[in-house]
Amino acid sequence: MSLAKNIIEAMKFIEANDVKFIRLQFCDLFGQNRNIAITPMQMERALASGIPFDASLVVGFPESRQTDLVLCPDITTIQLLPWRPQQGKVARILCDIRYPSGEIFTADSRYILKQTLKRAEALGYQFNTSADCEFYLFKQDENGDPTTIPTDQAGYFDLAPYDRGENTRREICLTLEDMGFEIESSRHEAGRGQHEIDFKYDDALSSADKIMTFKTVVKTVAQRNGVHASFLPKPLVDEPGSGMHIHVSLSKDGHDIFENNGGLLGAEAGHFIAGVLAHVKGMTAIANPLVNSYKRLTGGKEAPRHIGWGFGNRSSLIRIPMESDEYYRFELRGPDPTCNPYLTFALILAAGLEGIEQQMVLMDELKLGEDEINQDPVAADTIQELPITLIDAVNEMAADPLIKSVLGEELTEKFIELKRAEWMDYIKTVHPWEIDRYLLTY
């Protein structure tokens, strides 16, 4: 679409919907939404030449040189924010990022995924994804600050009155549908106050955009209902962690390579999965970016830490669903919802493509459950595991050349630098567990 037509269509949408503010959104290195608000009077300028901003204080962006960047709206992503006033509405547009000269800012997460998708398309592949996003709803204190007290004591698939988050979850689903999501299911999860909402798969770029929007909607609607929504991977010691299981589909010439007949994978599917498993340690710091992420990975059966794949095996890091439908796929169960979805999808795709190009041999299917692996000394010694701490994951990332080839040298080094500093902050902090464990004895 030409620039002139973009401007005309945007202004028609703004006028027809009585939009008074437009949020220009972008994503920082750690997958957090950022935005600058403009009025409709600035929309033509935004589409023609972008809106400049100082990137020096944005996580993962330049700190000392070339800190002036420009937000370039992707007009195809314009959406109304349903929770804002009905008179004088607010819309949001996702943005690409450039330098004032027009040169592409190559550390833009959205750009990195776009480039990886272009490489796949050049090879004839269409990459689709979806995500199962889990989160907790916690009570707020008298000041409106979040607590770690769950909103209910309900469990898996429970109904009201035990599920006290039902109304909030329903409002989240309706808001998402107003924004163009197709909700497939929603439910109370296994943890007290834990929930999951699943939406339909899409091309990977649109799916990553939706994940970013999803997290904003969940937090906003929860706050409007007087509760706090948290995507923290392991907020409670004795409750299940929250994951973001990623469903991956790859098709070529209209044929999904993960189609399986009676539990048999094709060679191309096997190569792709082998590539992902070969690089999964290196991509774990991106897919599980917090110190807290590894409390989930080491603390329960629903977050498999052993590297393997299997048909229908929920203890496998990669699970291939046994159910038969038209959407053939595999499910990567390691990532959590604090990840940057653009970078995570880009790494999964790049690793899988390398597996196809190099015809990597897929390891034997993992048929053991988590408990069986732990009780079998031979299996426990021979089956590789994901990193068990953030610093282990960061070191694996630094050692994997594929990561740098996808993210770029500068962005990779910046991520590693920031995460090593985060780990040192954690190490230097005296935690309540240490006081409880050692103070009386020593």
Chain segment 54-101, per-residue pLDDT in tens: 888 888 886 656 788 999 999 989 999 998 777 789 999 999 999 999
CA distance 165 to 171: 10
Q: How far apart are CA 111 and CA 407, in angstroms?
A: 10
Residue 2 has pLDDT above 70, yes or no: no
C-alpha closest to that of 358 among 436, 279, 286 = 279
pLDDT digits (tens, 9 = 90+) for 125-140: 999 999 999 999 999 9
Beta strands 33-38; 19-27: pairing state: antiparallel
Tell me the mean pLDDT in the region 13-41. 93
The residue ranking higher by pLDDT, 323 or 159, is 159
**Confidence bin at 3 (pLDDT 50/70/90):** low
242-269 pLDDT, tens digit per residue, is 999 999 999 998 888 988 766 678 899 9
The pLDDT tens digits of the residues spanning 288-329 come to 999 999 999 987 667 788 899 988 777 789 999 876 566 688
Residue 262 confidence (pLDDT) = 62
Cβ atoms within 10 A of the Cβ of 204, count?
29
Predicted local distance difference test score (pLDDT) of residue 64: 58
Q: How far, in Å, CA of 392 to CA of 385, rounded?
A: 11
pLDDT reading at 379 higher than 80? no
Q: What is the mean pLDDT of residues 406-427?
A: 96
Question: Looking at residues 159-167, what average pLDDT do you find?
Answer: 84
Q: What is the pLDDT of residue 326?
A: 62
pLDDT score at 234: 96
- As a whole number, the mean pLDDT across the chain is 91
The reported pLDDT for the residue numbered 311 is: 87
Q: At residue 42, does pLDDT exceed 90?
A: yes
Q: Mean pLDDT over residues 353-363, rounded? A: 96
Q: What is the reported pLDDT for 103?
A: 92
Indicate the pTM of the whole model.
0.95
